Amino acid sequence: MIFSICYLRQDRMKSRATYFLAFALIAVGMLESIHMEECVFEKLDSKDSSFCRGGLEVLYPELGDVGCTYIPECSFYRKRISKEWSSPKVRYQQAEKNKKYVLIMVDPDAPSRTNPIYRFWRHWVITDIRVSSKTIFCDNLFHQSGLAYRRPTPPSQTGYHRYQFLLFEQPTREAISFSPEEGSSLVCSVTELQPLPDSMGNSMQFSWQKYRSGLPSPTSSERLGIEP
């Protein structure tokens, strides 16, 4: 009799564990489904989107080309760009094999859009980019010098930040050097560079520290850095 009772209890415990596991799997599936439904990629407002032109593409894993886009919070994309992913691939399909290029990534909203005293803070500089015969990607394999990629890390409570990518044509027989300070003047640094047709540029925008799950979505004024 004692053996029968113990066996019955074990059987009930196994059944409950099975039901609990099934319920947990269903709940996770529902949450993932809801999470994916909320993953909306919005284009930048007209004022900021005017910077995106010339066919320059910026590609991150899973996201593809993030040009002229607000990076959504879903799937932890903002956190992954800031904490996990390495430099994106930058594609310019009109690149010519016999020319050299310079790629610069800056934050014009450092430390905030309302007080950009460190405007055009440099996050990435690649000089002496040459395009191989089999690729149109600019990445760490095709440069000689520059500033190593530094992930976007917008400070908390500073609103949305724009991260802009600029591509310049580098004079063939000249070496380009930048000061080591990330916050030094970008304008002074690029005076010797030749702008490409239509000033090749692209931009993404996000602030994952401020807008977490459970908080209301940012308004257009907040995205532009306008105080209420």
Looking at the fold, whether 28 and 46 belong to one and the same domain comes out as no
Using CA atoms, how far residue 21 sits from 10, 13, 14, 30, 79, in Å, is 16, 12, 11, 14, 29
What does the pLDDT read at residue 24? 57
What does the pLDDT read at residue 84? 92
Order of strands across the sheet with 64-65? 64-65, 56-60, 89-92, 137-138
The identity of residue 88, as a single letter, is P
The CATH number of the domain holding residue 91 is 3.90.280.10
What does the pLDDT read at residue 67? 83
What does the pLDDT read at residue 20? 58
What does the pLDDT read at residue 101? 83
Looking at the fold, whether 19 and 101 belong to one and the same domain comes out as no
User: Range of 31's domain?
Assistant: 1-37
Q: Which residues pair with 194 in a beta bridge?
A: 169
Q: How many domains are contained in the chain? A: 2
Residue 15 domain-assigned (yes or no): yes
Looking at the fold, whether 167 and 213 belong to one and the same domain comes out as yes
Looking at the fold, whether 71 and 150 belong to one and the same domain comes out as yes
Residue 206 domain-assigned (yes or no): yes
Looking at the fold, whether 6 and 66 belong to one and the same domain comes out as no
Residue 169 domain-assigned (yes or no): yes
Looking at the fold, whether 26 and 52 belong to one and the same domain comes out as no
Looking at the fold, whether 87 and 141 belong to one and the same domain comes out as yes
Looking at the fold, whether 1 and 99 belong to one and the same domain comes out as no
What are the mean pLDDT values of the chain's consecutive 10-residue runs (228 residues total)?
49 57 55 56 79 82 87 88 90 82 86 86 85 52 66 84 86 70 50 50 58 39 38
Q: Is the pTM of this model over 0.75?
A: no
Residue 214 domain-assigned (yes or no): yes
d(C-alpha 4, C-alpha 64), whole Å: 60
Residue 79 domain-assigned (yes or no): yes
Residue 228 domain-assigned (yes or no): no
